[in-house]
Structure 1
Amino acid sequence: MNPADWAIWLEASPLGGWMRTSAFAYPAVNLLHVLGLVLLLGAMLLLDLRLLGVGRRLPMPEVSALLTPLAAAGLLILLGTGALLFAADAAPLLRNPLFIPKMACIALGVVNAIAFRFLWAGRLARWDSTPPLRARLQAGASLLLWVAAACLGRLLAYM
């Protein structure tokens, strides 16, 4: 099944119909989506800024231990609610020129976060003075990718 056919099927499914016709489903899921966005972006912005050198008096391992679970929870909420929101309008969203770039930013953001954990998690304790350049570049990329994904997602409604 090609993506366009799958989107039409999903939109016509009971889930898609429920999301479109329920008086409470779409607004409630949309609010949860915003909560996920706040958790993910808030935690990632603070974590990435700390990695870039802001707030060096705060120990990096403690900052990471506090913010990483919040970011992960936000991402899980976003993925679940995003799938439900997509089901309501799958075909038009798939045709929207901003949708694929948004999905690409999310995918790259997740890959970057996983790579970051794999490469650097055991070395955070030594970063209270200056993190390695490559790690700072990853933090900068993370900032750009997550903010871009959020902005593209918001702009989807206007295209």
Structure 2
Amino acid sequence: MEPLLTTAATWLDAVGVGPWARGSAIVYPVANTLHLLGLVMLVGGIGVVDLRVAGLWRSLPIAALSRALTPVAIGGLLVMVASGTILFAADGEALASSDIFAPKLIVIALALANASAFRMLWCARMADWTDPIPAGARAMAAVSLALWLTAGTLGRWIAYS
């Protein structure tokens, strides 16, 4: 994966994003703050839905909760993609060779695949769910929560690698 990440870093430099992100005293801290805000929105939104599907707060209707919080989670993901691109552009060469950055991207890909599979398998049936919720859906919700928390943890660990 390192050659692909190095190529991405080189391209971001060539189009001016890297120099812009590195050349300003304010761009990196703002991008970092937005990245954290995006993480809070993502994990806060999807995490509550995942916990409900896993079995907590049984009095709350899952479909309504998902309709309300999934857009927040998607918004957080979009904020993270945009701010993460800026953060990567600012230090792409070092991140490309990081022992933690590539695994973080793999965990994110797995989390997105799990979310897509959950939507395809269960979303249309959520309105009809009464407890007990199907074991497969509960398992996918637990995996979702674990993957997103792992991605966030790996992101924080990059600073210490």
Q: TM-score, normalised by structure 1?
A: 0.94
Letter in 1 for 2:4: P
Q: CA shift at 1:126, angstroms?
A: 2.4
- Structure 1 residue aligned with 2:28: 26
Give the aligned partner of residue 3 of structure 1. Answer: 4
Equivalent-residue separation in structure 2 for 1:102 and 1:55 (angstroms): 30
CA deviation map 1:101-132 (0-9, x unaligned):
10011001111111111111111022231211
> Cα deviations across residues 43-88 of structure 1 (Å, max 9, x unaligned)?
1211110001100100111111111111111111111111111001
Q: 2:87 aligns with which of 85, 96, 99?
A: 85
Output the CA distance in 1 between the equivalents of 2:150 and 2:131: 29
Q: Which runs of 5+ in 1 are unaligned?
A: none
Contact 2:9 2:18 in 1 (8 A): no
2:137 matched residue in structure 1: 135
Within-5 A mapping of 1:1-159:
2-3=3-4, 5-10=6-11, 12-13=13-14, 14-159=16-161
Secondary structure at the aligned position of 1:56 is classed as coil
Aligned residue-pair number = 158
Measure, in 1, the Cα distance between the counterparts of 2:122 and 2:85.
31
In 1: Cα distance, 2:106 partner to 2:9 partner: 21
Unaligned runs of 5+ in 2: none
Distance 2:43 2:50 in 1: 10
Residues 17 and 55 of structure 1: CA distance in aligned 2, closer, same or farther (over 3 Å): same
Q: Which runs of 4+ in 1 moved over 4 A?
A: none
In terms of mean alpha carbon deviation, does 125-134 or 91-100 score higher? 125-134
AA at the equivalent of 1:100: A
Give the distance between the partners of 2:156 and 2:20, measured in 1 at CA: 23
Which residue identity lines up with residue 37 of structure 2 in the other structure? L
Give 1:3 shift. Answer: 2.2
